[in-house]
């Protein structure tokens, strides 16, 4: 497949792409790019006025750099009320999309398919007391959307955003997000005392270490937070991370008596994968 342009950058600001926008796609301007580490960055793009989605859903993202562009699923990290769309991405040197996407700058163009979908939505869960958001790596993205949505606080008393990464520097996106939320004039008061951010690191020294799954299995997560062990009466969960993490965390939810839900059959937990390679 011819997917690369000869130059170093995928699409130069202001330069029209020589490829037509594929049917069913929006071509959207990049507004902001922030790099966190060699492997992580976030970007914000213009939101088409007619584009509707539910917080927690994902869309397909590509670049106008080929006749048949490569698309990958990206959770929208901004909430449904935001006038821009935010995404949080890894950078893979040979990744068919991310090797190019990591080079975008404000003014460049990104393609987005028109339909949003996904299972990590409030509608797929029955009401409950605590909502657990279990994430690793870029799996925090859909939760970045949901923790900024007032609807999440209407439905649950307490929201526990649990994020596990290899290194402390990989936690920064989530830390910045939560800090901004707490000082936000509109939603800050709503999240006060109700949004709890629990971070853990696996590959370097950090105040809390260990995999999210091990912290659940040992009960340390619940002890640290002073809440009872997870159970079907009060707890609901959403899971987003690598395939292995999804599988292991799902087993733990089942083991704690929670039932898996879906859009058409709300229950006690839902699973999604952080797709991008």
Q: Which residues pair with 265 in a beta bridge?
A: 262
Q: How far is the CB of 165 from ligand A2P (least distance, A)?
A: 5
Q: Binding to ligand A2P by residue 136, rule CB under 6 A?
A: yes
Taking the least distance from each CB to ligand A2P, the nearer of 40 and 147 is: 40
Q: Which is nearer to ligand A2P, 154 or 277 (CB)?
A: 277
Query: How many CA atoms lie less than 13 Å away from 146 in the CB half-sphere?
Result: 35
CB of 216: closest distance to ligand A2P in angstroms?
9
Among 34, 37, 99, 242, which residue sits at the site for ligand A2P (rule: CB under 6 A)?
Answer: 242
Handedness of CA 170, 260, 192, 220 (dihedral sign): negative
Residue choice 118, 164, 174, 261 for contact with ligand A2P (CB under 6 A): 164
According to CB under 6 A, which one of 121, 248, 252, 276 is a site residue for ligand A2P? 248
SS3 151: helix
Q: Which of residues 60-99 bind ligand A2P (CB under 6 A)?
A: none
Cα 201 to Cα 170: distance, rounded to the nearest angstrom: 9
Task: Name the phi and psi angles at 32, rounded to 5.
Answer: -155, 145
Stretch binding ligand A2P (CB under 6 A), from 69-77, 158-166, 171-179, 189-197:
158-166
Which range binds ligand A2P by CB under 6 A, 79-87, 143-151, 162-170, 172-180? 162-170
Residue 211 lies near ligand A2P (rule: CB under 6 A):
yes
* 166 lines the binding site for ligand A2P (CB under 6 A): yes
Determine how many CB atoms are found less than 10 A away from the CB of residue 90.
18
Q: Using alpha carbons, select from 274, 136, 110 the residue that is nearest to residue 199.
A: 136
**Helix/strand/coil for 76:** coil
In the complex, least distance from residue 130 CB atom to ligand A2P, rounded to whole angstroms? 20
Closest CA to 72 of 53, 89, 85: 89
Q: β-strands 72-75, 195-201: how paired?
A: unpaired
Could you say which of 25, 212, 221, 270 contacts ligand A2P (CB under 6 A)?
Answer: 212
Kindly write out the interface string for residues 188-207 of this chain, putting x where it contacts ligand A2P by CB under 6 A and - elsewhere: --------------xx----
Q: 162 and 198 in contact (C-beta within 8 Å)? A: yes
Angle CA 207–212–215, to nearest 5: 75
Residues that bind ligand A2P (CB under 6 A): 136-137, 164-166, 202-203, 211-213, 242, 244-245, 248
């Amino acid at each position: 497949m011819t997917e690369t342009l000869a130059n170093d950058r995928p699409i130069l600001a202001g330069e029209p792409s020589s490829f037509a926008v594929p049917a069913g796609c929006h071509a959207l301007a990049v507004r902001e790019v922030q790099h966190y580490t060699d492997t992580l960055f976030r970007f914000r793009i213009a939101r088409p006025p007619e584009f509707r989605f539910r917080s927690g859903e994902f869309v397909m993202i590509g670049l106008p750099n080929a006749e048949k562009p490569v698309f990958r699923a990206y959770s929208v990290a901004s909430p449904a009320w935001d006038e821009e769309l935010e995404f949080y991405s890894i950078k893979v040197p040979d990744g068919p999309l991310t090797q190019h996407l990591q080079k975008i700058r404000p003014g460049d163009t990104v393609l987005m398919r028109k339909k949003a979908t996904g299972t990590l939505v409030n509608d797929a869960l029955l009401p409950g007391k605590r909502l657990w958001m279990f994430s690793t790596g870029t799996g925090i993205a859909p939760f970045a959307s949901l923790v900024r949505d007032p609807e999440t606080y209407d439905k649950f008393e307490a929201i526990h955003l649990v994020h596990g990464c290899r290194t402390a520097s990989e936690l920064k996106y989530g830390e910045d997000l939560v800090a901004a939320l707490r000082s936000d004039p509109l939603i800050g008061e709503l999240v006060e005392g109700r949004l709890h951010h629990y971070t853990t690191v696996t590959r370097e020294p950090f105040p809390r270490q260990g995999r999210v799954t091990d912290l659940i299995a040992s009960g340390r997560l619940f002890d640290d937070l002073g809440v009872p062990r997870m159970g079907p009466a009060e707890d609901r969960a959403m899971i987003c991370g690598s395939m292995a993490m999804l599988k292991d965390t799902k087993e733990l939810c089942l083991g704690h008596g929670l039932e898996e839900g879906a859009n058409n059959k709300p229950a006690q937990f839902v699973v999604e994968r952080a797709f991008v390679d």
